[in-house]
Structure 1
């Protein structure tokens, strides 16, 4: 009788854990607007973000200026970080599109290869980053989720962990500038509407 109860208990625990596995990128396949990563990360982009520790305290705030460019299936995303304490950082991603929404990427401070998948308006990006802290380098894992809100705005939330333990979260808001023609037409169009 006891072995049966133990098996039932284990089965119930496994079912509970499976139910709490979290979202998969495919869950967003029907969401609009559909994200074309090559189109979004093409040209200049600005982002504002913060890092929160596992207790929720904001530890760092930062801005990022990015420039993306693509040639066919190969892309480069040059990120320039400016932190609230005045420190600066640069990361240059070399990206490859493999079709069916699948991407890989490399950067100098990333261990091995990052991999990601687009579905609908969402992009999930996983990688291990070499993080300098107090003169030491720690390898930490990032589970990075991006959600396209409209053609210019994308929101990003990344969980940082080591040995499976959550260390904190990074939140970012990406913003693409308006196309030059639309920006120039905007004030004229507004003036015309006011007449």
Structure 2
């Protein structure tokens, strides 16, 4: 799906607005055949560094198997509708596109698992603004460009 499909839709999903302040959420991860793999509670906090015009966003996933994963993002708007992101476990950088109510975010990350191992996974996430305080995300995770799991995430600004 092309990001341009969402041009003109509202409410706008702007990372520099949505990821600022406190957020809470939840996630379910399903296999491609539909079986539930894991669930997570999410807490996050973001600030805008006005000197560098960079979003500093930290989010922690607490999974139902007891393990957690904390991502410490720095996100920068590089031009209208275009973003880049960095996080300490990324391979390269994250690339984001925004139009209307949607934000498309892609990256590859060495992702810790509940058994203590970690896997390099490709993520392809679509954020959709529901209102000014709520967004839904449909993401896929895979390896070598082949998806094997789908995540459904809800975020709420608090």
Question: Could you state the TM-score of these two structures normalised by the residue count of structure 2?
Answer: 0.92
1:49-98 Cα shifts (integer Å, max 9, x gaps): 01111221111100110000002321110112211122222110011111
| Larger radius of gyration between Structure 1 and Structure 2 | 1
What residue number does 1:137 align with? 118
> SS at the partner of 2:131?
coil
Q: How many residues align?
A: 155
Q: Which runs of 4+ in 1 moved over 2 A?
A: 131-138
The 2-side partners of 1:39 and 1:88 are apart by: 26
Deviates more, 1:41-50 or 1:30-39: 30-39
Instruction: Give the RMSD, CA atoms, in angstroms.
Output: 1.3
Larger relative contact order (CA 8 Å, sep ≥ 6) = 2
What residue number does 2:30 align with? 52
Q: Provide structure 2 residue ranges, at least 5 long, that are not aligned to the other structure.
A: none
1:156-177 Cα shifts (integer Å, max 9, x gaps): 0111122232211111001012
Higher strand proportion (structure 1 or 2): 2
What residue number does 2:147 align with? 166
The alpha-carbon distance between structure 1 residues 123 and 106, as it changes in their structure 2 partners (threshold 3 A), is same
**Which of residues 83, 93, 101 is equivalent to 1:103?**
83
1:142-167 Cα shifts (integer Å, max 9, x gaps): 11100001011100011112223221
Q: Provide structure 1 residue ranges, at least 5 long, that are not aligned to the other structure.
A: 1-22, 178-195
**8 Å CA contact retained: 2:112, 2:118:** yes
Higher helix proportion (structure 1 or 2): 1
